[in-house]
Amino acid sequence: MVRGERAVPVRELDGAYETLQDLIEAGADALARVRSAAEALPDGAGWALADLGYASAVLDPPIVLAVGLNYDEHASELSLDNDSGPVLFSLFPNSLNGHEREVPLPAHISEEVDYEGELGVIIGRPAKNVSAEEALDYVFGYTVVNDITARNIQFSEPQWSRCKSFDGFTPVGPVVVTADQIPDPQALRLTTDVDGLRVQDSTTGFMIRTVAQLISSLSQSLTLLPGTLISTGSPGGAGRSRRPPLYLFPGTEVTVTIEGIGTLTSHCVAA
């Protein structure tokens, strides 16, 4: 639990919960108790954020679901069709990574590694056959995702899971902001910077399918379990579309920022 520039482990606020996943599964009442305990702490309690390292903001989600081609500009720049419905794929747990962590780039497999800044949505309770009107009631919180992609693999295989699931290719964080602090997930500015160059600058208002529509659509065919992370797609500005292409190499720093949530920075290194 973050309080200003300090953080307190959830297990110190309520010993019943070791991880964020435990807290999500425990439900809204548990979150309320943890918040109350945090608010009762004296000033200066906990650890300074500057002294801590970051893991992925979600450690053990039931699954990470990623939505492709959810912004027209991104679909156009990759010359891919997005008319048939949400493009859905899963990301493997080995790909999860944290803020200010290293992303290993395996040059022997790909020298066309690309960035994709995205809004991440964490489901708070089981969602099945929900309507778009009620879908946001099922959201626990929001985070920042960099959906790093090996483009040569993406365009040589009929599925997208492997090209995006190399070790460390899914930085998530730095934090999860609870849903009550984000009144409208379709009104958030999203930017991505590569070595200080602004390469993506858009808003979630340009999503083809809103967060609510995505949750509703996905819940018709499967139950979205508590803790599920949905990465909702990337706006235009991918490195592949630039002339010349702007791919990631050892030494590159990538920073994705989403208004109201935070800034996620990754450092590329040789695998």
What average pLDDT does the segment 127-141 reach?
98
Give the number of other Cβ atoms within 10 Å of residue 94's Cβ: 12
Of 52, 70, 88, the position where a domain reaches its end is: 52
**Mean pLDDT, residues 28-36 taken together:** 94
- Does residue 155 sit in the same domain as residue 252? yes
Q: List, in sequence order, every residue forming a beta bridge with 7; answer none if it has no partner.
A: 2, 47
> How confident is the model over 59-109, as pLDDT tens digits?
999 999 999 989 987 667 666 666 667 789 999 999 999 999 999 999 999
Report how far residue 206's alpha carbon sits from residue 268's, in angstroms, rounded to the nearest whole number.
29
On whether both 34 and 58 belong to a single domain, the answer is: no
Do 58 and 181 belong to one domain? yes
Q: Are residues 11 and 103 in the same domain?
A: no
Residue 155: count other Cβ atoms within 10 Å of its Cβ: 14
pLDDT, tens only, 212-264: 999 999 999 999 999 999 999 999 999 999 999 999 999 999 999 999 999 99
The mean pLDDT of 161-173, rounded to a whole number, is 98
What are the helix and strand counts (H, E) for the chain? 6, 17
Give pairs for 48-53: CB < 8 Å, separation 24+. 48/5, 48/6, 49/2, 49/5, 49/6, 49/7, 50/5, 52/7, 53/98, 53/100, 53/101
Torsion of CA 95, 98, 101, 103, to 10 degrees: 20
pLDDT for position 74: 60
- Lowest-confidence segment of 70-84, 137-151, 162-176, 252-266 by average pLDDT: 70-84
Rounded CA separation 202/192 (Å) = 9
Per the structure, the count of domains in the chain is: 2
4: pLDDT confidence band, cut at 50, 70 and 90? confident
Are 45 and 130 members of one domain? no
Shared domain check, 59 and 43? no
Looking at the fold, whether 90 and 199 belong to one and the same domain comes out as yes
84 and 132 co-located in one domain:
yes
The whole-number pLDDT of residue 86 equals 74
Residue 15 pLDDT: 84
Question: Same domain, yes or no, for 140 and 44?
Answer: no
Mean pLDDT of the chain: 94
Which CATH number covers residue 68? 3.90.850.10
Identify the domain containing residue 157 by its residue range: 54-270
> How far is it, in rounded angstroms, from Cα 175 to Cα 179?
13
Same domain for 33 and 112? no
For the cut 70, the answer to whether the pLDDT of residue 166 exceeds it is yes
Contacts of 239 (CB under 8 A, 6+ apart): 114, 115, 194, 199, 245, 246, 247, 248
Residue 87 shares a structural domain with residue 220? yes
269 HSE (CA, 13 A, CB side): 10
The mean pLDDT value for 193-203 works out to: 97
Whether residue 157 is found in the same domain as residue 62:
yes
- At residue 177, the 3 state secondary structure works out as strand
The predicted model scores a pTM of 0.95
Is 155 strand, coil or helix? Answer: coil
